[in-house]
Structure 1
């Protein structure tokens, strides 16, 4: 997939930024942003929330303050696809934010319940990264257009590195593996 959008790897601290630097190296379509995701003008942001779509901690709390009503939209989208109200780790969905920029949020849970600590292996971060890439490559927007046509820039925070307690290095390694697996090195 050579037409991957600009991937902006977001880091609010230096350990995550340093880990993301390794992911961006050799990928001309990727760059590291040192600072808040709210400073970016991108088409979509990634939420590594929980399976229920509760957005009250970590980066998701930032999204909830920045994009009013986003938690309700995410929860409604989950309920529309999964009547039990849970989006499993390893799946993702795209939701309109109601804002001009970013217009979309991709919810890709790294944990089943809010506040869970992730396994040190980073398996959940790898599953979430793969799910985001599948939504971008194969997903459809509500108007029927492929996601890849409407999302040309994507902001990705550390997956599971806040509330989930995953190390930045492990997160970056798992995201890089997912990128290589689905897009090629």
Structure 2
């Protein structure tokens, strides 16, 4: 299929990112298409069966070719079975020079699912960074830069500020906590954000636990 174009950039998401990540200078906020990002890996929000027919998934599949969906689904079957749980991810070779890898992480179980009342964005973002960590354990230095989009901010209907804060949480947990596996990751994120419904939007950000050894 051809003729797919990225959705218009959501300026509200960009503004929310800039506020949420104001104290993390290593993060560059870019307003534009992920297809223009010259990094080692792209992260695409997907559904649990990696049906790459809409949103960023479809744009990336159109750009990299249909074979990318085959590789993603093969990795899911090999590592997880029939479906990729929310709070997990797969990292596969992209088949291109840039990026070298594609990381798929579900923000939803089904296609076009409203996830605005869930913690799926934090789970997906944390899982994406865990996939980077696992890839670099296998091949040190293989992923040194990565590009992400606003997870759940379009099809998932997550408000921009909540999306940005949950992604900040995922990034912070990745940096400050060691996850033994994806089950450990999901347990930690849910424990940290279990009372999110009672928090004002501006206080979604958390203080992560102390770093744990392996």
Q: Which of these residues, 128, 138, 143, is aligned with residue 144 of structure 1?
A: 138
Distance 2:138 2:18 in 1: 35
Aligned to 1:22: 19
Q: Which has the larger radius of gyration?
A: 2
- Aligned partner of residue 117 in structure 2, secondary structure: coil
Aligned to 1:29, the other structure's residue is in SS state: coil
Structure 2 residue 122 is matched with structure 1 residue 130: no
Question: Whole-Å Cα distance in 1 between the matches of residues 154 and 10 of structure 2?
Answer: 11
d(CA) in 2 for partners of 1:61, 1:140: 24
Aligned to 1:86: 83
- Say which SS state the counterpart of residue 85 (structure 2) adopts: coil
- Deviation of 1:86 after TM superposition, in Å, equals 0.3
Q: State whether residues 116 and 159 of structure 2, in contact with CA within 8 Å, keep that contact through their aligned partners in structure 1.
A: no
Gaps (5+ residues) in structure 2? Answer: 1-7, 177-206, 208-214
Quote the Cα distance in structure 2 between the aligned partners of 1:180 and 1:14: 23
Tell me the alpha carbon deviations over residues 5-40 of structure 1, each in whole angstroms, 9 at most, x when there is no partner.
Answer: xxxxxx922111101112331212101111111111
Q: Which has the higher contact order (CA 8 A, sep 6+)?
A: 1
Task: Give the alignment partner of residue 59 of structure 1, picking from 49, 56, 59.
Answer: 56
Question: Where does structure 1 lack aligned partners over 5 or more consecutive residues?
Answer: 1-10
How many pairs were matched up?
169
Identify the structure with the greater strand proportion. 1
Q: Matches of 1:86 and 1:79 in 2, distance apart?
A: 7
Partner of 1:71: 69
Q: Return the alpha-carbon distance in structure 1 between the equivalents of residues 174 and 75 of structure 2.
A: 25
**1:35 and 2:27 matched:** no
Give yes or no for contact 2:41–2:100 (8 Å, CA) kept in 1.
yes
RMSD (CA atoms): 1.8
- 1:120 Cα offset (Å): 2.8
